[in-house]
Amino acid sequence: MSTRIHDFAAVGVGPFNLGLACLSEPIAELDGIFLDQKPEFDWHSGMLLEDAELQTPFMSDLVTLADPTSPYSFLNYLKETGRLYPFYIRERFYPLRAEYNDYCRWAAAKLGERVRFGQRVERVEYDDEQGVYLLHSTDTATGESGLFRARRLVLGTGTPPYVPDACRDLPGDAVHSGDYLFAKEGLQGKRGVTVVGSGQSAAEIFHDLLQDVDTHGYELNWVTRSPRFFPLEYSKLTLEMTSPEYADHFFSLPGTSRDRLVASQKNLYKGIDTDVINAIYDLLYAKSRRGPLPVRLMTNTEVIGATRDETTSGYRLELRNSDQERDFALDTQGLVLATGYRYRAPAFLGSISDRLAWEGEDRFRVRRDYRIDRAAHDANGHGGVGVPAPAGAVFVQNAELHTHGFVSPDLGMGAYRNSYILRALLGREPYAVERSIAFQEFGVPVEAELEASER
């Protein structure tokens, strides 16, 4: 068993930690190992609909916004695979989602042994004497045990599917949107299908099923508790909120203000692409030409209960219209829960949980430089140039919605966050970390604060 001690170990290889792998690869003095339990890179494969696009431009790839010259860029992927000119002629800023997944697989393959798939981390311990984390793993193909040693950790284990209490632990074949494509054939063989949810995934699934609603002859329902089908807000001044200045502003706010803002900003990162909304309407219009469609779209409607009906092999949904404050029921054979994802701290942290800073029982206390170890919060400052993060430091990727705001899951901010983490790991900036890019101001102007302090 290897006794090699890595500078850091990253657990979970989604787009964010894969981007960290790409950006850290050319840095000679930084030795990182990346571990993931999946057999290969796989990013929401159950939602890789053929024509579905990312909601962020191709420049929000793994590296470009930190290093436009990186060989791991999306444009270089297109060049090496002979698709650069077709992408150019297509004249779309937004890659296909399946294409982005292929790009990430390409990047992971180029990284070689730095990225180890098929390694499930079972538990993590800390060796005080050596100042290293011990990552106990299992090879998912062979069952063999492994041990990796690293001075620091970067957690990028992602956000698992979320199912609301009303639908949790339902028997039968109800499916979360993350597994939609694997269940699609079975769903289309049912008498009726209901999609529950309000975001992009719900819209894409509804649109996909709507295309064949007359061919297969099923009823199709879309139920959302939102008052309308909110479009993703994508105006340019709104996009400035995905900026270092807004991250700083949001981080500086009291916890109650942060939580209130996160709740009110869902249409900034969970809304539906306008093109998809329009495509749904156009398809409804075209298909309704010959008569009424067996289709219902229900807003202001919350699922308050769900039971399995073994007689019909379907489900009875107990629903409430929030406008009218009236309850009613809907019977459906197929059920797709496009109810999103929520962060959950991985179980393997159990033995080092006392080394981590927590807000309550289930949220990390995240520092501005994305550190969550208690030692970081006991120290002064928020990290930066000069002193590398000490042994024992722990960083997170996409677990800081409550401290850094809605930009946390945004692919476009991945390279920025990784530049920040690399700066903390090294004590220097291998990639320039932007500090000011927005035209607007998000807080009280500095000069106004100075004037107030002089009164």
Rounded CA-CA distance 340/176 in Å is 9
pLDDT at 15: 98
Q: Domain holding 182: CATH number? A: 3.50.50.60
Are 309 and 355 members of one domain? Answer: no
Shortest CA distance to 107 belongs to which of 71, 147, 79, 135?
71
Residue 204 lies in a domain: yes
* 3-class DSSP assignment, residue 12: coil
Q: Please say whether the beta carbons of 368 and 251 come within 8 A.
A: yes
Are 192 and 332 members of one domain? Answer: yes
Q: Please say whether the beta carbons of 430 and 422 come within 8 A.
A: yes
N- to C-terminal Cα distance for the chain?
67
Are 329 and 402 members of one domain? Answer: no
Residue 438 lies in a domain: no
Residue 295 lies in a domain: yes
* 3-class DSSP assignment, residue 415: helix
pLDDT at 453: 59
Residue 23 lies in a domain: yes
Are 57 and 186 members of one domain? Answer: no
HSE value, Cβ hemisphere, 13 Å, CA-based, for 337:
22
334-337 and 192-196 as β-strands: parallel, antiparallel, unpaired?
A: parallel
| 232-240 contacts, C-beta under 8 A, 24 or more apart | 232/55, 232/200, 232/267, 232/268, 232/269, 232/270, 232/271, 232/272, 232/273, 232/274, 233/267, 233/268, 233/271, 234/55, 234/274, 237/439, 237/440, 238/268, 240/437, 240/438, 240/439, 240/440
Residue 320 lies in a domain: yes
Picking from 306, 337, 368, the residue at the C-terminal end of a domain is 337
Q: Please say whether the beta carbons of 242 and 408 come within 8 A.
A: no
Picking from 337, 372, 396, the residue at the C-terminal end of a domain is 337
Residue 436 lies in a domain: no
Give me the domain span that covers residue 105. Answer: 5-160+342-426
326-332 and 314-321 as β-strands: parallel, antiparallel, unpaired?
A: antiparallel
Please state, rounded to an integer, the average pLDDT across all residues of the chain.
94
Are 329 and 371 members of one domain? Answer: no
**Chain CA centroid to CA 298, Å:** 27
Burial of 47-57, coded b for 16+ CB within 10 Å and e otherwise, reads bbbeebbbbbe
pLDDT at 394: 98
Are 93 and 12 members of one domain? Answer: yes
Are 208 and 65 members of one domain? Answer: no
Rounded CA-CA distance 295/131 in Å is 61
Q: How many residues does the chain have?
A: 455
How many domains is the chain partitioned into structurally?
A: 2
Are 312 and 331 members of one domain? Answer: yes
Picking from 286, 318, 337, the residue at the C-terminal end of a domain is 337
pLDDT at 1: 57
Are 88 and 192 members of one domain? Answer: no
pLDDT at 266: 82
Model confidence, pTM: 0.94
Residue 246 lies in a domain: no
Are 207 and 321 members of one domain? Answer: yes
Positions of the chain with pLDDT under 70: 1-2, 380-384, 449-455
- β-partners of residue 296 are 221
pLDDT at 382: 57
The angle that helices 97-111 and 15-24 make with each other, rounded to 10 degrees, is: 40
Residue 43 lies in a domain: yes
Q: Please say whether the beta carbons of 127 and 5 come within 8 A.
A: no
Phi, psi values for residue 68, rounded to 5°: -65, -15
Q: Provide DSSP, 189-240.
A: TSSEEEEE--SHHHHHHHHHHHTTHHHHT-EEEEE-SSSS-PBPP--HHHHT
Q: Please say whether the beta carbons of 326 and 185 come within 8 A.
A: no
Are 201 and 68 members of one domain? Answer: no
Are 192 and 280 members of one domain? Answer: yes
